[in-house]
Structure 1
């Protein structure tokens, strides 16, 4: 085949592969899995190079390693695969639109519509009064499968609303709230609780629920402890305690964008 003998379907094929690799990168970016992903890409590149150079023995070894390694990758990337399938199977149209936006390679970062300042300020005030808080902010993966366990709501995010929901005598206090864009879409949501034995025993059900939902989806979560008022930020099943609220604000905005 001549160099310029390229069909339109070949171009479509290349673009689809590029989009797939880009999205996989976006999916694992910022997680431990990114190092594994880069390693796989390097091994694959070396394998193709050895095939081109007709290094048969080395090529067969690398090819066999990649073939067997596919089963191991399913285990290593099980959380990312779960998120990807949840996104594809979502019945939430707004989540699908956000999924499509991920493929706009040349676009600038999405503007954050969520009132992050109000959320952080509410966590600060409720931390001072040692009021328990569990906030889950939806990103690309639909949270319909947990929203159905709570009470539906459609209220714009602001400080007074957040304080009234988590007020200790409020009937909406128990459980988590779900935030989509800049709206609270569910309250009193019952989240699945992680049974991971590696989680320190000092963390209660709020932290375990936040860990579980951020492991299963790409959502981010904020927890305020009833015991000491400490604010925790959770993403990909990992949590960080924050005292510097400006840093917390910037981190949330960066993750949502």
Structure 2
């Protein structure tokens, strides 16, 4: 924090020095490294944490500039202790980054296309998911379907087997068919495609969950507590279809309710896009 404070004290007295070619190369190298780091974490849940860290730093700077002494004291002491916490939180991404450097895969991340090009789920995707859930419910085939929203699930995908297939009801049913290689674990759906199967999800620690719910439901609640993902669960014991969002579970779904849930999410995404830069402001209002 002393470094930030000293830098802010000297802002008014900074004289821009003459830049030669070495300085330009130095700046470009640092900017490139920062870009690489951002690309590495953008498809993981850490991206949301990273944005939170940036917001805290911005608040810290504003509190110092505006002489908000109490707020500055609280944030400065929190950041001092939080530096170690940040290293712990980002440890998986830092380790993966070093592994990629060691394998010579520094440039692989630059070839990844944006996941935001596809808007919401299509009618075909919604129909396929709803039909497969009802079919698996009828025959009591256990299923765990995680639908990615704003929070990226790249770190969860890496725990499973990459598929990248078009969503059809037949494929979903076949994946979760008993005694097949891919039936155990969850599937991740994003951009109207099945991204991965047999993925491991974090289990919830909540003590309020009914004892009737097994590991599949606890995993669904767990991933919904740490991300904004939508999760559909088909119970292998009862065939009941459940919907999980933000740690809350709703049971006893039928085809029409599943379609309404998925379509309401699609409408929300479209309206958010229309709001543009006013999205955050309207949410606060």
The counterpart of 2:65, out of the listed 31, 48, 64, is: 48
Residue 117 of structure 1 is matched in structure 2 by 127
Sort the Cα spacing of 1:85 and 1:208 in 2 relative to 1 into closer, same or farther, 3 A.
farther
Report whether the alignment pairs 1:65 with 2:74: yes
**Aligned residue pairs, count:** 225
Sort the Cα spacing of 1:94 and 1:118 in 2 relative to 1 into closer, same or farther, 3 A.
farther
Report whether the alignment pairs 1:230 with 2:238: no
Superimposed CA distance per residue, residues 34-86 of structure 1 (whole angstroms, 9 cap, x where no aligned partner): 8x997886675344212xxxxxxx52x3322111222369869x87x579769
Q: Under a length normalisation based on structure 1, what TM-score does the superposition of the two structures give? A: 0.57
Conservation of the 8 A alpha-carbon contact between 2:120 and 2:269: no
Alignment partners' CA distance in 2, 1:89 and 1:48: 37
Between structures 1 and 2, the one with greater helix share: 2
Q: Whose Rg is larger?
A: 2
Q: Under a length normalisation based on structure 2, what TM-score does the superposition of the two structures give? A: 0.52
Conservation of the 8 A alpha-carbon contact between 1:123 and 1:231: no
Q: Compute the displacement of 1:111 (Å).
A: 2.0
Superimposed CA distance per residue, residues 76-128 of structure 1 (whole angstroms, 9 cap, x where no aligned partner): 9x87x579769978979679736x667xxxxxx74246723322332244335
The counterpart of 1:97, out of the listed 112, 117, 123, is: 112
Aligned ranges for residues 1-257 of structure 1 at < 5 Å? 27=48, 45-50=62-67, 59=69, 61-70=70-79, 71=81, 97=112, 110-112=118-120, 115-137=125-147, 139=152, 141-148=154-161, 153-168=163-178, 170=180, 172-187=182-197, 189=198, 191-194=200-203, 196-198=205-207, 200=209, 201-214=211-224, 220-226=230-236, 227=238, 229-234=240-245, 238-241=247-250, 243=253, 244-253=257-266, 254=268
Q: Compute the displacement of 1:173 (Å).
A: 3.1
Alignment partners' CA distance in 2, 1:145 and 1:39: 29
Q: Secondary structure at the match of 1:117?
A: helix
Conservation of the 8 A alpha-carbon contact between 1:82 and 1:216: no
Alignment partners' CA distance in 2, 1:165 and 1:234: 23
